[in-house]
Amino acid sequence: MRCFLIFILLISTSNLKAEVKEKIIQNLKNTKNLDFNFEQNINGKIENGNCTIEYPKKIFCKYARSNNKVLVSNGKSLVIKTRTSYYRYPIEKTPLDLILDKKYLIKKIYELKERVVNKNLINYTILEKGNQINIFFDNKNYNLVGWQNTDIYQNFNITFLSSIRKNRMISENLFKIPSEN
């Protein structure tokens, strides 16, 4: 009888995990774009602002209280621009190439085992192209709520998302790569 109860408990726990995974995947499939506030910690330096993501691989972030810093990807190139600097990278050379690819994330979530963090977050760890990326989802509404990775300069980067809004009308011009001037 005891073995039977343990077996039933293991099956129900497995079914709950599969159900959560399926809800995260379905939520991603239903998401065309996201608008959110963010807090980013790069090696202890904290910045914040607002971002819009449009799948696949497009992002526009405007940083608060900075020197007009923006981060923009049109799906091919990634630009980080401030008043005094301009950096352009092929997106496939950055971890955002994977983070902003919804189909890739769904495929990986199917393959990976989740980890529950503080009962509030579901974490998947992706190892790809020499990158380790931790993706976090809310355990109640299944929204993407953050990620951890090492950037192209080998800086440890933690990004938290808040005030998330999905599937809003956005202008395609938002993802236009800014000029260097």
pLDDT in tens, 71-116: 999 999 999 999 999 999 999 999 999 999 999 999 999 999 999 9
Residue 113 domain-assigned (yes or no): yes
The answer to whether residue 15 sits within a structural domain is no
Q: What is the pLDDT of residues 30-79, one digit of tens each?
A: 999 999 999 999 999 999 999 999 999 999 999 998 778 999 999 999 99
17-37 burial: b if 16+ Cβ within 10 Å, else e: eeebbeebbebbeebebbbbe
Residue 142 falls inside a structural domain: yes
Q: Examine residue 17 and state whether it is found in any structural domain, yes or no.
A: no
Query: Does 97 fall in a domain?
Result: yes
CA atoms of 153 and 104, how far apart (whole Å): 24
Report the CATH number at residue 91.
2.50.20.10
- Asked, for residue 42, whether it belongs to a domain, the answer is yes
The mean per-residue pLDDT over the stretch 5-13 comes to 35
Residue 105 backbone dihedrals phi, psi, to 5 degrees: -60, -45
Close Cβ partners of 28 (under 8 Å, ≥ 6 residues apart): 102, 105, 106, 109, 144
Give this prediction's pTM.
Answer: 0.86
Range of 146's domain?
A: 22-175
Q: How many domains does the chain have?
A: 1
**pLDDT reading at 17 higher than 90:** no
